[in-house]
Amino acid sequence: MTLQDQATVRDAITAGRTTLGIELGSTNIKACLVGPDHAPIAGGSATWENELVDGVWTYSLDAVHAGLQGAYAALVADVEQRYGVRPMTYAALGVSAMMHGYLPFDAAGELLVPFRTWRNTSTGTAAAELSELFGYNIPLRWSIAHLYQAILDDEPHVPQVASFTTLAGYVHRALTGQHVLGVGDASGMFPVDPATRDYDERMLGQFRHLVAAKRPGLQVEGLLPRVLPAGADAGHLTAEGAALLDPTGTLEPGVLLCPPEGDAGTGMVATNAVAPRTGNISAGTSIFAMVVLEKPLTSRHHELDLVTTPAGDLVAMVHCNNGASELDAWAGMFGEFAAALGHDGSADEVFGALFRAALDGAADGGGLLAYNYLAGEPITGLDEGRPLFVRTPDSRLTLANFMRAQIYGAFGTLALGMRVLHGEGVAIDTMFAHGGVFRTAGVAQRLLAAAVDAPVAVGQTAGEGGAWGIAVLAAYTRAAADAGAGAPSLADYLGEQVFADATLEVAEPEATDVAGFATYLERYSAGLAVERAATEAL
């Protein structure tokens, strides 16, 4: 960056013309600062891990607060190091986080039970009953499934519930005092009607009737956050919110906030995949695909969720609980081995070497088989997970085959769900991908194209992910506020102002890889019996 460019950025920071996005992912909380041209200009992050407490996957609210402050402090330090100034305000900011889960609060705003994250699979009875009642797939991780399971189990906290929300909704309320949620995140709490872009009235009535005997008078619509589309004014940073984010007191209150969104919605924004016949795949601790539909599906499938874009358009979602964590674990072990031989390398260097080796592997993985199931996987009917690497005596164990099998395994469950979508006749022009696994150019992208049998595009912001996506949504809210009635649609804003000059690398599916992955997936499907046996025996 030239001195002139640095001066321009510095002026934008001091004048409060930048936008800030913060996303709470499963292992990292990332903050991304973007300039008026939507390009990232600084970033910061803090690591955290979920905990298994009394059989529940959770994060404490103290960890939420500490992680927010850590990521924000790291961002401010990066700004100071790069530009020599400290930001005091922003044009707008936004918060996103892992979707779904259950955060119930009483009338005083106290959390009633520990945060139940999307990883928990204890809501089977509730999800099945609601899916049958609504004629609409309600996955185990959805917020309404958690609430209804608590009602079925007569949990003592239920009569005290005055509101419940997602992680993004909680953080947003802590910053603004507003109990609201972006429509994309809201659609993973309770079904949303695309016609109204609000909770489905028919299903709200069905739920009231369902719980009337156990909880007479329970009005779930009074507990849920108010739904807002992308571009809406979602409140302003309060003095308490500013102090939470920046305990040093430098950050000033009054900043405009966009509606809080889930990581699925920010992934769609970060890949410009909000129009029909487009889709995106986000690969992190979990992995999921979002495909914007031209029309509703013809039938209900347990492998597919129906959610919405941040603008409220219907999306089919294939959500897999398990993503890249097992790849991380193997890379960590290989890194230790290299260090033991005296070859110290960064995590990115280790990943790069391992991923590039996969390109030399047999198209079908050489007869090797890998399951990345650290947690249960509803799509394949498993309540618990056991990471497995399996091979037959006649398989070919090489580093190249091993890594190809591991990457294939990370995409295995996703591919099963995408095949259901294909059976519905859903057309996809291009899938856009983002997430850390795509930082090694041309490897995961090529193998993913084989897994979904569709072109996969990766842009320059692929590694930025949802923190950049929510920063862009914040910029859209600022632009909409300034434009008033003449504000563009989200799709037009992204296409004309954010991605107009974007450079994309597109990997077309290669016939040999497609055939090889199909063979791998047949073996993967058959081997689920081994995975199931492992959960029972170990």
Domain positions in the chain: 1-98+166-181+230-270, 100-164+190-223, 325-455+508-537
Query: What is residue 461's predicted lDDT score, i.e. its pLDDT?
Result: 58
Pick the CATH number of 100-164+190-223 from 1.10.40.60, 2.60.40.10, 3.40.50.300, 3.30.420.40: 3.30.420.40
3 state DSSP class of 298: coil
Query: What is residue 2's predicted lDDT score, i.e. its pLDDT?
Result: 61
Tens-digit pLDDT profile for residues 355-401: 999 999 999 999 999 999 998 998 999 989 999 999 999 999 999 99
Residue ranges of the chain with per-residue pLDDT less than 50? none
Judge whether 1-98+166-181+230-270 and 325-455+508-537 match in fold: yes
Tell which CATH architecture fits domain 325-455+508-537.
2-Layer Sandwich (3.30)
Query: What is residue 66's predicted lDDT score, i.e. its pLDDT?
Result: 98
Query: What is residue 277's predicted lDDT score, i.e. its pLDDT?
Result: 87
C-alpha distances in angstroms, 45 versus 29, 167, 431, 467, 496?
5, 17, 27, 10, 30
Does residue 312 come out as left (phi exceeding 0), alpha (psi in the -120 to 50 range) or beta? left
3 state DSSP class of 18: coil
Handedness of CA 417, 418, 422, 426 (dihedral sign): positive
Query: What is residue 195's predicted lDDT score, i.e. its pLDDT?
Result: 92
pTM (predicted TM-score) = 0.84
CA dist 451 and 316 (Å) reads: 18
Tens-digit pLDDT profile for residues 8-36: 999 999 999 999 999 999 999 999 999 99
Query: What is residue 1's predicted lDDT score, i.e. its pLDDT?
Result: 58
Q: Hey, what are 446's tokens?
A: 């090529």
Topology of domain 1-98+166-181+230-270 in CATH is: Nucleotidyltransferase; domain 5 (3.30.420)
264, 282 contact by CB (below 8 A): yes
Neighbour tally for 253: CB within 10 Å: 15
Query: What is residue 463's predicted lDDT score, i.e. its pLDDT?
Result: 54
Query: What is residue 246's predicted lDDT score, i.e. its pLDDT?
Result: 98
412, 521 contact by CB (below 8 A): yes
Residues 64-97, buried b or exposed e (16+ Cβ, 10 A)?
A: beebbbbbbbbbbebbeebbeeebebbbbbbbbb
